[in-house]
Amino acid sequence: MKSKRAVTYAEAGVDIDANARWVDSIKAAMVSTFDTRVCNRHGSFAGLFSLDYSETLFRRNYRHPVLIGCTDGVGTKVLLGIQAKRVRDLGIDLVAMSVNDLITCGGEPLFFLDYLAVHKLAPAALAEIIEGVADGCRQAGCALLGGETAEMPDMYAKGHFDLAGFAVGVVEARRRVDPDRVTPGDILIGLPSSGPHSNGYSLIRRLVGRRKLTRPLRGTGQSLADALLAPTRIYVSAVRRVLGHYRVKRVVTAMAHITGGGLPENVGRILPPKCNAVIEVRRWTPPPVFDWLQSQGVDRDEMFRVFNMGIGYVFAVRPTFARAVHRLLHRAGESPIVLGRIKRGRGQVELR
């Protein structure tokens, strides 16, 4: 039997008061993402977001709103960020992973929530992460409605943390982008990625091994850390620009976020059974970081299977509108690339 000395919760490794201070410190970051639709009340158990459909604007756009829910994490890119002491942009990655999924069905992001599990609360580092999350939310035009920070010293190693994100959006049922409409002849247009985004980091970390992350990446003026920790691009504004332009015509037949694997897997997800996608890989040059990764002993097929290879998001577009969509994307500040096209087939992606 152990001694009868009073045990307090703080002694067991969790400090409720420190937690309360931390909650206050993230409020400013959250508020920076709010608009009038957020109706949170301090201290409440839940985040509240008005759909505003008593307003004329919402009513005009939404007759039959369908809610969209997405969740994702950042994977082991977190460990690389910790190693390089660069954690802020992991917050952007977190938002990007969910909202880029969300917009593929044609929806607009409304709000985001984060789950942050840590070894111990280190308010400075955590404030950085939440600033990154709020930055991502502003880029995506959604409110950071709430979040949870869990201190779990026995689950996470010292200095470690994990992140999970959750995005909610809305799409009008009639305007939902549904890959069933993909047809032979459709043109595939890709948007550049900033690097590996948040996928393939178990392999990347193994390839990096014990090399210093500060070492320069040849021909780039960047360090390895710069290239490998570049935040995932958020495609919301570019995609909203295109979809907003065509409010009646259904010009975009499908969209794919290149996530969790490479182009073959993800473009495969938008193919009807009787279509193939032909992607001409010479149409673009992958960023130098992929050359470096390949030079560490990964074969070319595996590179394309695991990594986005420089393309983070793909549109399938009716051929007569391909040039116009390309122009719209340019005007939205993107550098769109015509990757290839849809042809008759059996649901396969052909890299040429």
Query: Least separation, in Å, of the C-beta of 320 and its own copies?
Result: 26
Query: Least separation, in Å, of the C-beta of 331 and its own copies?
Result: 25
187 and 341 in contact (C-beta within 8 Å)? yes
Nearer to its own copies among residue 176 and residue 331 (C-beta): 176
Nearer to its own copies among residue 291 and residue 302 (C-beta): 302
Helix (H) or strand (E) holding 124: helix 123-140
Query: Least separation, in Å, of the C-beta of 162 and its own copies?
Result: 6
Query: Least separation, in Å, of the C-beta of 323 and its own copies?
Result: 26
Other C-beta atoms closer than 10 Å to the C-beta of 316 total 27
Position 352 contacts its own copies (CB under 8 A): no
How many residues contact its own copies, by CB under 8 A? 94
Q: Which stretch, 71-79, 217-225, 236-244, 281-289, contacts its own copies (CB under 8 A)?
A: 71-79
Which positions from 328 to 347 touch its own copies by CB under 8 A, shown as an x/- string?
Answer: --------------------
Of 110-149, binders to its own copies (CB under 8 A) are 110-111, 113-115, 117, 145-148
Q: Which stretch, 72-80, 219-227, 272-280, 336-344, contacts its own copies (CB under 8 A)?
A: 72-80
Position 200 contacts its own copies (CB under 8 A): yes
Which positions from 26 to 65 touch its own copies by CB under 8 A, shown as an x/- string?
Answer: -------------x-x-xxxxxxxxxxxx--------xxx
Nearer to its own copies among residue 268 and residue 324 (C-beta): 268
295 and 204 in contact (C-beta within 8 Å)? no
In the chain, what is the straight-line distance between the N-terminal and C-terminal CA atoms, in Å?
71
* ∠ Cα 23 27 32 (to 5°): 155
Separation of alpha carbons 119 and 94, rounded Å:
19
Lay out the sheet containing 311-317: strands in order across.
Answer: 252-257, 311-317, 187-192, 337-344, 275-279, 349-351
How far, in Å, are 140, 156, 195, 259, 309 from residue 135 at the CA level? Answer: 9, 26, 19, 21, 25
Of 147-186, binders to its own copies (CB under 8 A) are 147-148, 150-156, 160, 162, 164, 166, 168-169, 171, 173, 176, 178-179
**Per-residue burial over 282-301, b = 16 or more CB atoms within 10 Å of its CB, e = otherwise:** eebebbbbbebbbeeebeee
